[in-house]
A and B are shown apart, each in its own frame.
Chain A
Amino acid sequence: MNDQHHTADTKLDAFPTYRMSESAQHRIHQNVMKALEQQAPKQKLTRGISPRITAGLIAIAALFILTILSLNMLQTSPNTAIETPPAPTEPTVPIVSGEDEEEPEPFDPAALEQRANAILQALDRRDMATLAGYVHEEKGLLLSPYLSVSDSTVRFSQPEIATLLDDEATYLWGYGEANTDIRTTPAEYFEQHLQVERFFEADEVLVDTTSPESDPTNYLSSVFPDAKVVEFYTAGTEQYSGLDWRSLHMVFEQEEASGEWRLIALINNLFTP
């Protein structure tokens, strides 16, 4: 039997190797670089640093400058200098440490799942007013047809959501097969890409964990480090060897003022890297 295995191996080995012509290779290389160039400046921006972090950074910078200043002023008595810096910076210090240490209320996965289900129903009813009620006031709502978020991902502010389906304009939601534009109106996007109805019978609803199939690299947590994600996952069918699975990720972030988990992104996911 091993002999036969060997024969089979050798046969498989002996297939010719196909190569692109050099000119084709160069042409493709150029196209790839061009495509990535257009993308590059946007990618660097990584969806705006959260205001909280910005505030923290400013506070730290202020603290640093003040420390240097006071050290300079009190150069003659270094011992007291070390103790005095906190005094002038007092107002900034509690802001920095308070923000970091204070864990708001404990996270309740069941409550978030309930919220996600309510959103799913609102989406299915096309009840945009209700949906708007769940959307993050500052961050608005990102919509992406694939597991990909960049600065060019379509985002609507919370007030825009309520009338979103009346919007006749077309948006570039992302890129589909062979880099073709996905360019539709919001209503069409809901129909063709969001496909909410498929997720009522989700095979799995994952709260704050990622399914290895849909997000093996933990992409979402790298893009939304402070977020909690509810994933509705429908397994693929046998007809397509399971590859027609789909997921809808609802991404929530906690609103600072209310401590409430608010929707910031609806991200579809299907078989793409």
Chain B
Amino acid sequence: MQSNQETISDWFYLYSQEIYNFLVYYTGTRDVEDLVQEVFIKAGKGLGSYRKEASPKTWLMRIARNVAIDKARTKETRLSRLSLPWQDSSNHRQTSSSPEQILLENEEKSELYQLINQQKKKFRDVLILRGIQGLSVSETALILDCKETAVRTNYHRAIQALKNEPNWRDLYERSTPHSRHQT
């Protein structure tokens, strides 16, 4: 039988990059390595409470989301209204890799990401999980601990909300000049 550490070690190599990518988008900063570490330590300590019906990946994503929310709360920042990434003064990583700049490399993406961040929390959750991370409805439901119908509804509404943003129209029209959509 595998020990907890072996299990976590396996899972780490299988899923840590996905967790990292998720945390980058969820927190809005690339400086999430500490969070990745925390996720796997928490997972190792809490392996006893891992429900077998959830896949390791969704379980880890769920922990990751909680860790990110916790982190945001201690910073007294509200994730859902974040327009700028966290500035951690104690952190001396090169600023050139700050998330904003990376996302700004592609202006359209950056604007879209800003729009997503401005959405309500429940919309933002599904937009990042379903949309950006490309997870299935059932995976998203497991991570958010809600029903699949809620994921579907919220995703649908979130997309609607995005499209109702004035910026969305600019984006949409700019990127698809021969737009089929009526203004």
Instruction: Spell out A's residues near B (CB within 8 Å).
Output: 3-5, 7-9, 11-20, 24-25, 28-29, 31-33, 35-37, 39-40, 43, 148, 150, 177-179, 212, 216-217, 219, 222, 239-241, 243-244, 271-273
- Considering the complex, which residues of chain B in the window 75-111 have a beta carbon less than 8 Å from any beta carbon of chain A? 78, 80, 102, 106, 109
B148 at the interface (CB under 8 A from A): no
A17 to B25, CA, bound (A): 9
B16 interfacial by beta-carbon distance below 8 Å:
yes
- B167: interface (CB < 8 Å): no
Contact A36 B37, beta carbon cutoff 8 Å: no
Contact status A178-B73, CB under 8 Å = no
Nearest CB of A to B122, in Å = 7
Q: Indicate whether A39 sits within 8 Å of B44 (C-beta atoms), given known contacts A15-B25, A20-B33, A177-B71.
A: yes
Do B163 and A28 have beta carbons less than 8 Å apart? no
Chain A minimum-CB-distance residue to B116: A12
Given contacts A12-B127, A179-B38, contact A25 B16 (CB under 8 A): yes
- Interchain CB contact under 8 A, A271 and B4: no
Contacts A177-B71, A241-B121; is A36 near B4 (CB within 8 Å)? Answer: yes
Assembly CA distance A150 to B176 (angstroms):
57
Q: 12 more A-B contacts (CB under 8 A) besides A12-B132, A40-B3? A: A4-B163, A5-B156, A12-B112, A28-B12, A28-B16, A36-B44, A177-B74, A178-B34, A178-B35, A212-B145, A272-B67, A273-B43
**Shortest beta-carbon contacts, A-B, top 6:** A12-B131, A241-B121, A36-B44, A217-B49, A273-B63, A32-B40
Contact present for A31 and B37 (CB under 8 Å): yes
A244 — which chain B residues lie within 8 A by C-beta? Answer: 73
CB <8 Å contact, B172 and A240: no
A156 to B13, CA, bound (A): 40
Query: Which residues on the A side are within 8 Å of B5 (C-beta)?
Result: 33, 36-37, 40
Cα-based distance from A35 to B78 in the complex (angstroms):
30
Do A20 and B20 form a contact, CB below 8 Å, given A179-B41, A273-B62? yes
What is the CB-to-nearest-CB distance from B86 to chain A, in angstroms, rounded to a whole number? 13
CB interface residues, B 4-27, toward A, < 8 Å: 4-5, 8-9, 12-13, 16-17, 20-21, 24-25
**B51 / chain A contacts, CB cutoff of 8 Å:** 217
Report B-chain residues with C-beta under 8 Å of the C-beta of A4. 159, 163, 172, 181
The answer to whether B20 touches A19 (Cβ under 8 A) is yes
Cβ B21 vs Cβ A271 within 8 A? no
- Chain B's closest residue to A217 (CB) is B49
Interface residues of chain A: helix, strand, loop or mixed (majority): helix
Interface residues of B in 27-51 (CB under 8 A from A): 30, 33-38, 40-46, 48-51
Most buried by A among B71, B73, B122: B73
Task: Compute how far the CA of A5 lies from the CA of B155 in the bound complex, rounded to whole angstroms.
Answer: 10
Contact of B176 among A7, A212, A217 (CB under 8 A): A7
Complex Cα distance A12/B112, Å?
Answer: 8
List, sorted by A's number, 29 A–B pairs whose CB atoms are closer than 8 Å: A3-B181, A7-B176, A8-B162, A11-B112, A11-B171, A11-B175, A12-B127, A12-B132, A13-B134, A15-B132, A18-B20, A18-B102, A19-B20, A28-B16, A29-B12, A32-B8, A32-B9, A32-B12, A32-B41, A37-B5, A40-B3, A177-B70, A178-B35, A217-B50, A219-B49, A240-B73, A271-B70, A272-B42, A272-B67
Does B44 lie within 8 Å of A19, measured CB to CB? no
- In the complex formed, the residue of A with least CB distance to B156 is A5
B180 touching A3, Cβ below 8 Å: yes
A271 adjacent to B73 (CB under 8 Å)? yes
B121 partner residues in chain A, CB cutoff 8 A: 241, 243
Among the listed B102, B106, B127, B159, which residue makes an inter-chain contact with A5, where contact means beta carbons less than 8 Å apart?
B159
- In the bound complex, how far is the Cα of B35 from the Cα of A29, in angstroms? 12
- B30: chain A residues within 8 A (beta carbon): 18
Interface residue B55 (Cβ < 8 Å from any Cβ of A): no
Task: Give bound CA distance, A13 to B134, whole Å.
Answer: 7
Assembly CA distance A240 to B74 (angstroms): 12
- Contact (Cβ within 8 A) A20 B17: yes
Chain B residues whose CB sits within 8 angstroms of the CB of A219 once the complex forms: 46, 48-49
